[in-house]
Amino acid sequence: MNKIGLGYDIHPVDSSKGNLYLGGILISEKISSIGHSDGDVLIHALIDSILGAVNEGNIGIWFPENFYNRNRDSKEMLHEIFAKIGKCVKIINIDSVIILENIRLNPYIKNIKENISEILNLEVTKISCKPKSGNGFYKGYIMAQVITLLEEEG
C-alpha cells in the first residue's frame, strides 16, 4: 500500500560562526543552524516525512533533546530510522524544498542528493531537492519541507 508523509523543519541561523550542514553535506564554515543536534533541517524534515508516511510519530519522540543527542550528526539519525523502518518499506520518491537567504545552494544539490541516496539506498533520480532564497521573508532562519512517497510492504 502506498503511503505519503510530510516533514517540516525550521532553525535559526547563527551568521557569525559554526558549520552549516544540509543533507549531511557541509555547506558553510561561516554560519550554522542553531539546534540541539547538528541542525540539519533537510535531514530532520526528511526523517519526519518518512515517520509520517508510516505513522510512527516524529523525530522528537525518536531522538529527544537529551545528552546523547546533543550536537548529534543527523546522518546517524537517518541511518537509525532507516535501519528500523527500511525493511518494511520501499521509498518511491522524495521531493524537498530548502529555504536559505544569502547562500546559493544550487552548487551543493548534486552532493546532497547523492548523500541521501547512499544513506537510503535509493536511486538518486528518485530524490528531488529545490533550493529557494525566501526573498527576505526567512532572514535569520533556515527551513526545509520534505514529502516522501513510499510503499509499505506486508
Q: Which residues bind Zn ion (CB under 5 A)?
A: 9, 44
Angle of CA points 48, 54, 57, to nearest 5°: 50
Q: Provide the minimum distance between the beta carbon of 44 and Zn ion in the complex, in angstroms, as a whole number.
A: 3
Q: Provide the minimum distance between the beta carbon of 73 and Zn ion in the complex, in angstroms, as a whole number.
A: 13
Q: Provide the minimum distance between the beta carbon of 40 and Zn ion in the complex, in angstroms, as a whole number.
A: 7
Helix axes 41-53, 109-120, angle to 10 degrees: 40
Residue with nearest beta carbon to Zn ion: 44
Q: Strand ranges (DSSP E) for the chain?
A: 2-14, 20-22, 25-28, 32-33, 89-100, 127-132, 141-152
**With respect to Zn ion, which residue has the nearer C-beta, 134 or 152?**
134
Could you give the 3-state DSSP secondary structure of residue 54? Answer: coil
Distances (CA, A) of 108 to 90, 100, 129: 26, 13, 10
**With respect to Zn ion, which residue has the nearer C-beta, 121 or 143?**
143
Q: Provide the minimum distance between the beta carbon of 81 and Zn ion in the complex, in angstroms, as a whole number.
A: 14
How far, in Å, CA of 15 to CA of 84, rounded?
Answer: 36
**With respect to Zn ion, which residue has the nearer C-beta, 9 or 52?**
9
**With respect to Zn ion, which residue has the nearer C-beta, 44 or 75?**
44
